[in-house]
A and B are shown apart, each in its own frame.
Chain A
Amino acid sequence: MTRISVRRILALSLAALSLVAACDTPAAPQASEGPFKKGSGTLRVLAGSELHDLAPILDDVKAATGVTVELTEIGTLDGIEKVAAGTAVRDHDAIWFSNNRYLELHPEASGRIDVSTKVANSPVVLALRDSKAKELGWDQHRPTWSEIAEAAGAGRFTYGMTNPAASNSGYSALVGVAAALAGTGRALTSAEITSLTPRLQSFFAGQSLTAGSSGWLADEYVRRQAGGVPVDGLVNYESVLLSLNAGGKLKEPLTVVYPADGVVTADYPLTLLSGAAEQARTNYAAVADYLRRPSTQRKIMETTFRRPAVPGVELAKSFGPAGGGLVELPFPARYDDATALVTGFGDSLRKPARTIYVLDVSGSMKGARIKGLQTALLGLSGADSSLSGELTRFNGREQVVMLPFSTTPKTPRRFDLPADNRQPVTDQIRGYVRGLAANGDTAIYDALTRAIELAKQLDAADPNRFTSIVLLTDGERTVGPKLPAFKTYHAKLPAKIKTVPIFTLLFGEGNVTEMTELARISGGRTFDARGGSLAGVFKQIRGYQ
């Protein structure tokens, strides 16, 4: 035996020993499930925000397969648009949303997506505070969506739901409730939406909290409960609702209500993009294999309350409904029908929005900044003809208020969009926006106080709207009151006005701490516009209005 072969054997025995050692780590495969598939490097995934709770599972994926799964958060429609345009594959290998149904209807999408792997299931359902569920008798009796819509319209309960144009859970809820109310037994077509309008309006009249993402909605629900202004319920994925109950942050737990006439269920398809590199395909196969192992499926079920996608993994007892079925409701069959439902939601079904834009037009906004702002607002007024532009434009029945400020707040200008024929009013908005000019100092809190007084006044005259404030400033306050004075003023406001969310943009040399604080005290959120275009961020904010 030569020295070299001895060394080789030693190396092999070390390898054998490390194999034995590896069997004791959690990354060892279950004997019945076969060896792990291996990849290397990163799988870059465009994902919905609701997939974030799978992070611990993705750590396991890394340990087992060697592949780092990197999730880039993106809204559903932005994601669909990127995939359909063929740009997603430039910097990503795969997509992962709660479902691909809308995407698969898109006429441009079919050649853009490759193999797809269903990872879990979760139906969109209603959950109510225990006491409210008891009061309505829905802890015992399973209501239909019709009963739910009627009770919501009669003001017997309030709920939060994400915006269907921005988030998958909201869209699935809209599809479910529309299909159930239509009650035809078939997939809904756009022709049927008109006749459903009164009953859908009744359902959405009960909505008192909206959001652009499921995660933020759940967080805000908890904050409202903690702050003593609770919303009664949520329409969201069962997994989000059960996670809230298990999270220990709720003062009052939720009773999950499984509508008797059915639900729409998310199936979380991890989907490879057409044209992904060979290494990405290998990585994808390894990740998909790991996610569908019964042991992983069980862990996903136990830690994120999603139902297993593969047969043979027994459903935990915590999943309802107790006795009786959970009928799956049909999704629209055609792209136009699916889109008509979202535009219909914005223009005629939802509780209309009152959107107050507080806009810094001080001297520092001169040049590219004010141009960027103008482009963003023109986009919302109909100049953006992309799918996401169409679904984030100002809606029929919306009230838009522009309140520019510099050294002092300028005269606010209000635009009331009619239900039909929005064009004359959007033309006015466009003309107004083009006339914005930058000059003078930065009186942020004067302007914000003015906006809130305006909100108070408008709400008194017309209370059935979602009122929100958007604050854009690119610098520090230079004149007028400071933040502490504003906070004192804000703390004394009546509850309904105090919870008008202030959505602040992080932009230019604006004060990040102050912007964050404003969002915090009002139940709003910050949006970072320092890296990208204002137009993109203004579209993103639309999901919260």
Chain B
Amino acid sequence: MKRLWIIVTTVVVLAALGAGIGWYLGVDRLETVRGVVGSEKAPFFADQRVKDAFASHGLRVETDSRGSREMATTVPLDRYDFAFPGSAQAAQRVAQARAATGRFTPFWSPLAVATFTPVADLLAAEGVARRAPEGHWVLDLGKYLDLAKRDVRWDQLKGNVAYPARRDVLVTTTHPGDSNSAGVYAWLALQQLGGGANALDEVVKLFTDQGGLERSTEDPFEKYLAQGLNYTPLVLVYEAQYVDAGRAGTLPANATLLYLSPTTPSAHTVVAFDGAGDEVGRLIANDPELLRLAAEHGFRTADEAATASVLAQVPAGGAALPTKLADIVPAPAPEVVDSLLTTLDQRLRP
């Protein structure tokens, strides 16, 4: 009996010591760093392995998700050590709103349209989508814009049993005044239409015809994941979001991805406001473990082999996701995007 007591006490004391040491070495010694990040990066920061990787460098990174454009307009930046918008253009605006101590571009992710194979087939029949030689789906932006301009509805497409809804064929986006993905999409569309006042009207229509718009890119994508075709047949996303969901096993049945043609690279950029923010930026851009995890979450880093092996694991309706993209136009200058988005915001929120 006595021996049993000794054993019990020893076990409890050892367990407590262990817990105490863990507690001493762990949580309480970490420096908390706060960031505001584009919602598409929320799954990356929520990953326990990412938290562990930061913790091994003495950091606990806490993030809030907001639209990349909101960061430069309505987000109180003074409470954060860094911001992490979805493009260099949005980063530029953020740095204008609060002086940056450093900028880091650890990875990028192309814009794409998450959809369903039967819907992609329908669009292919209309000549709007096609298979690239490498096997992945491509959305022909010019032909799509023509369809959108003519107000073609899904129930008017021949042989449509997949989604015979009385709704216009339109990509569901976020609000370009709030969110980077919609802003870049607007710019691509405007380029494709050749610019000018009429083209701008058409771009405005791409948003007003959709109706109410979400503020941050993860919101419509999450509805695509949870509600599937009911929510929308086409949703604008970053490739990384789709890849991340594919690896997490949460893609809806028959999910596939359309790449935009033309497309433009969107460099997700850490804008640091102080030393702690700099440290986070440096780590994400240089720490091999964090870079590996970013690649696992679908972001394209400098390590193309890592990207290739991640992409190969993602189901896309038999269409392998491409490691190299064609038809890339250079990213626009920040001022160009900015003036477009200011105009759009005035037109959409008069």
Assess the A311–B250 pair: CB atoms within 8 A: yes
* A window 319-352: CB within 8 A of B: 325-336
The answer to the question of A536 belonging to the interface, with a C-beta cut-off of 8 Å to chain B, is no
* B window 6-35: CB within 8 A of A: 12-13, 15-17, 19-20
| CB-defined contacts of B325 to chain A, threshold 8 Å | none
A-B complex: 9 closest residue pairs judged by Cβ atoms = A330-B211, A187-B211, A331-B212, A311-B225, A311-B250, A13-B16, A12-B16, A185-B168, A186-B209
Q: In the complex, which residue of chain B has the Cβ closest to the Cβ of A315? A: B226
Assess the B212–A330 pair: CB atoms within 8 A: yes
Q: Measured between alpha carbons, how far is A116 from B219 in the docked complex, in Å? A: 10
Contact of A111 among B74, B207, B222 (CB under 8 A): B74
Contact of A17 among B12, B225, B349 (CB under 8 A): B12
The answer to the question of A481 belonging to the interface, with a C-beta cut-off of 8 Å to chain B, is no
Given A13-B13, A105-B349, A328-B231, A186 and B151 contact (CB-CB distance below 8 Å): yes
Contact of B166 among A15, A118, A185 (CB under 8 A): A185
Q: Measured between alpha carbons, how far is A281 from B80 in the docked complex, in Å? A: 13
Contacts A13-B12, A285-B62, A330-B167 aside, 4 further interface pairs with beta carbons under 8 A come to A110-B177, A115-B65, A285-B64, A325-B165
Assess the A107–B349 pair: CB atoms within 8 A: yes
Given A312-B249, A312-B250, A334-B208, A16 and B349 contact (CB-CB distance below 8 Å): no
Assess the A115–B226 pair: CB atoms within 8 A: no
Assess the A333–B222 pair: CB atoms within 8 A: no
Assess the B17–A326 pair: CB atoms within 8 A: no
| CB-defined contacts of A15 to chain B, threshold 8 Å | 16, 19
The answer to the question of B144 belonging to the interface, with a C-beta cut-off of 8 Å to chain A, is no
How far does the Cβ of A545 sit from chain B's closest Cβ, in whole Å?
28
Interface 0/1 of A110-122, CB less than 8 Å to B = 1100111010010
Assess the B210–A325 pair: CB atoms within 8 A: no
Assess the A328–B153 pair: CB atoms within 8 A: no
Q: Measured between alpha carbons, how far is A336 from B350 in the docked complex, in Å? A: 9
| CB-defined contacts of A16 to chain B, threshold 8 Å | 12, 15-16, 19
Q: In the complex, which residue of chain B has the Cβ closest to the Cβ of A179? A: B211
Q: Measured between alpha carbons, how far is A105 from B210 in the docked complex, in Å? A: 13
Assess the A328–B209 pair: CB atoms within 8 A: no
Given A17-B12, A110-B349, A185-B168, A332 and B212 contact (CB-CB distance below 8 Å): yes
The answer to the question of A310 belonging to the interface, with a C-beta cut-off of 8 Å to chain B, is yes
Q: Measured between alpha carbons, how far is A311 from B43 in the docked complex, in Å? A: 12
How far does the Cβ of A202 sit from chain B's closest Cβ, in whole Å?
19
The answer to the question of B132 belonging to the interface, with a C-beta cut-off of 8 Å to chain A, is no
Band of interface residues on B: 35 or more
Contact of B66 among A107, A115, A308 (CB under 8 A): A115
- Number of chain A residues close to chain B: CB under 8 A: 55
- Which of B175, B177, B230, B249 has the largest number of chain A CB atoms within 10 A? B230
Q: Measured between alpha carbons, how far is A9 from B215 in the docked complex, in Å? A: 50
- Which of A107, A184, A328 has the largest number of chain B CB atoms within 10 A? A328
Assess the A13–B15 pair: CB atoms within 8 A: yes
Q: Measured between alpha carbons, how far is A46 from B331 in the docked complex, in Å? A: 42
Given A16-B16, A183-B166, A121 and B227 contact (CB-CB distance below 8 Å): yes
- Which of B13, B66, B178, B249 has the largest number of chain A CB atoms within 10 A? B13
Assess the A333–B208 pair: CB atoms within 8 A: yes
| CB-defined contacts of B17 to chain A, threshold 8 Å | 9, 12
A-B contact pairs, 30 of them (CB 8 A): A15-B19, A16-B16, A19-B19, A34-B48, A104-B213, A114-B75, A115-B66, A121-B223, A121-B226, A121-B227, A185-B151, A186-B151, A187-B209, A262-B167, A267-B223, A274-B76, A281-B64, A285-B64, A307-B227, A308-B226, A310-B226, A311-B226, A311-B248, A312-B225, A327-B163, A327-B165, A327-B230, A328-B231, A334-B350, A336-B350
| CB-defined contacts of A185 to chain B, threshold 8 Å | 151, 153-154, 166-168
Q: In the complex, which residue of chain B has the Cβ closest to the Cβ of A183? A: B166
| CB-defined contacts of B349 to chain A, threshold 8 Å | 105, 107, 110, 334-335
The answer to the question of A520 belonging to the interface, with a C-beta cut-off of 8 Å to chain B, is no
How far does the Cβ of A315 sit from chain B's closest Cβ, in whole Å?
9
The answer to the question of B232 belonging to the interface, with a C-beta cut-off of 8 Å to chain A, is yes
Interface 0/1 of B205-240, CB less than 8 Å to A = 001111111010001001101110111100000000
How far does the Cβ of B215 sit from chain A's closest Cβ, in whole Å?
7
Interface 0/1 of B150-163, CB less than 8 Å to A = 01011000000001
| CB-defined contacts of B207 to chain A, threshold 8 Å | 333
Q: Measured between alpha carbons, how far is A34 from B165 in the docked complex, in Å? A: 41
Q: Measured between alpha carbons, how far is A331 from B215 in the docked complex, in Å? A: 15
| CB-defined contacts of A34 to chain B, threshold 8 Å | 48
* A window 78-116: CB within 8 A of B: 101, 104-105, 107, 110-111, 114-116
The answer to the question of A209 belonging to the interface, with a C-beta cut-off of 8 Å to chain B, is no
How far does the Cβ of B216 sit from chain A's closest Cβ, in whole Å?
8
* A window 274-298: CB within 8 A of B: 274-275, 278, 281, 285
| CB-defined contacts of A183 to chain B, threshold 8 Å | 166
| CB-defined contacts of A325 to chain B, threshold 8 Å | 163, 165, 229-230
How far does the Cβ of B254 sit from chain A's closest Cβ, in whole Å?
13
| CB-defined contacts of B350 to chain A, threshold 8 Å | 107, 334, 336
| CB-defined contacts of A332 to chain B, threshold 8 Å | 211-212
Q: Measured between alpha carbons, how far is A275 from B78 in the docked complex, in Å? A: 12
The answer to the question of A261 belonging to the interface, with a C-beta cut-off of 8 Å to chain B, is yes
Q: Measured between alpha carbons, how far is A243 from B231 in the docked complex, in Å? A: 23
Interface 0/1 of A237-275, CB less than 8 Å to B = 000000000000000000000000110010100000011
The answer to the question of A47 belonging to the interface, with a C-beta cut-off of 8 Å to chain B, is no
* B window 56-74: CB within 8 A of A: 62, 64-66, 70, 73-74
Q: Measured between alpha carbons, how far is A328 from B170 in the docked complex, in Å? A: 13
Assess the B208–A328 pair: CB atoms within 8 A: no
Assess the B226–A110 pair: CB atoms within 8 A: no
The answer to the question of A309 belonging to the interface, with a C-beta cut-off of 8 Å to chain B, is yes
Q: Measured between alpha carbons, how far is A331 from B172 in the docked complex, in Å? A: 13
| CB-defined contacts of B230 to chain A, threshold 8 Å | 325-328
The answer to the question of B302 belonging to the interface, with a C-beta cut-off of 8 Å to chain A, is no
| CB-defined contacts of A111 to chain B, threshold 8 Å | 73-74
Assess the B211–A274 pair: CB atoms within 8 A: no
Q: In the complex, which residue of chain A has the Cβ closest to the Cβ of B212? A: A331
The answer to the question of B348 belonging to the interface, with a C-beta cut-off of 8 Å to chain A, is yes
How far does the Cβ of B304 sit from chain A's closest Cβ, in whole Å?
29
Q: Measured between alpha carbons, how far is A109 from B12 in the docked complex, in Å? A: 55
How far does the Cβ of B213 sit from chain A's closest Cβ, in whole Å?
8
Q: In the complex, which residue of chain A has the Cβ closest to the Cβ of B34? A: A281
Q: In the complex, which residue of chain B has the Cβ closest to the Cβ of A112? A: B74
| CB-defined contacts of B88 to chain A, threshold 8 Å | none
Q: In the complex, which residue of chain A has the Cβ closest to the Cβ of B36? A: A115
Contact of A12 among B20, B62, B65, B209 (CB under 8 A): B20
How far does the Cβ of B79 sit from chain A's closest Cβ, in whole Å?
8
Q: Measured between alpha carbons, how far is A184 from B166 in the docked complex, in Å? A: 7
The answer to the question of B316 belonging to the interface, with a C-beta cut-off of 8 Å to chain A, is no
Q: Measured between alpha carbons, how far is A498 from B207 in the docked complex, in Å? A: 50
Given A15-B16, A310-B226, A311-B245, A261 and B208 contact (CB-CB distance below 8 Å): no
| CB-defined contacts of A310 to chain B, threshold 8 Å | 222, 226
Assess the B16–A333 pair: CB atoms within 8 A: no
How far does the Cβ of A332 sit from chain B's closest Cβ, in whole Å?
6
Assess the B210–A330 pair: CB atoms within 8 A: yes
Q: Measured between alpha carbons, how far is A336 from B349 in the docked complex, in Å? A: 10
| CB-defined contacts of A330 to chain B, threshold 8 Å | 167, 209-212
Assess the B16–A309 pair: CB atoms within 8 A: no
| CB-defined contacts of B348 to chain A, threshold 8 Å | 333-334
